[in-house]
Amino acid sequence: IYGIKMEDMLRLKPWWEVEGRFFMENETNVMLAGRDLAEKENLSVGQVLPVGPNKEQFTIVGILDRTGDQDDQFHFFPLEEAQRVFGKEGRITTIAVKVRDVSRISAVSEEMEKIPDIQVVTMTQIMGTIMNLAGSAKSLLLTVIIIALIISAFGIINTLLMSVNERTREFGMMKAIGASGSDISAMVLMETVFITISGGIIGMFAALMGSSLIESFVKGMLPYSPSGSLISFSPELVAFSLAFSVILGLVCGIYPAFLSSRLSPMEAIRSGLE
């Protein structure tokens, strides 16, 4: 619940639009509702809600149009009404300051910080904090991706080496009837491409299904989550993912393919018989 002076708030945020109307400064038992909050709680203009310790009845006179920020998540009361309902007469939590000359934001904030018990937070600082968090998340994501690629590469190499070892006799017989080392190498590489493409397709389907679940979980945890879907399907990204999986498979398949091409027919058949 946010207690505000409507006239001052509209000067700070002139882009506000409302379904219904804005309340007047001298009105009592009235409120505005943020758009996201109204949608989550199925609120409508004219609806009456119990508010505060004494469950006083407040009428919704307006619902804000979507702003895309935290305003979508608040109930807005006249400041004096919010103070009265919660027993905080004469007390406030936050003062919003709009500077005419943006180049003087730092100077104004430094001057305000001289006031005892005042903590000044500028939008630049907030954006800096958000960008630092985003940068940390990006670094963590890149680290996870690199580790996953390394594990995948070793998994592919290990799978192919096991396949070559299990099919030693088969490769020896192929060489004995005239297959060249390049033929066997090409066969191993084609199998590698098939495995990596299959894995890439399965991975993309799993990502699409899992991301929907993760999106629902994240939106449920965040108090100011964005509206709409956070996931979009990109054909270019799908093509890049498939191409990257094929390239990774080919790189990892070079060594097993080289080993299979160097097998001696007699040694391969003899080891298979043993």
Q: Which residues contact 1 (CB under 8 A, 6 or more apart)?
A: 51, 74, 75, 76, 77, 82, 86
Domain boundaries, the chain: 2-96, 125-273
The whole-angstrom distance between residue 254's C-alpha and the CA centroid of its chain comes to 36
What burial letters (b/e) apply to 66-97, b meaning 16+ CB within 10 Å? Answer: bbeeebbbbbbbbbbbbbbbeeeeeeeeeeee
* Residues of the chain with confidence (pLDDT) below 50: 273-274
pLDDT given at position 58? 92
Predicted local confidence at residue 30, as pLDDT = 92
pLDDT given for residue 225 in this prediction: 58
pLDDT for position 237: 82
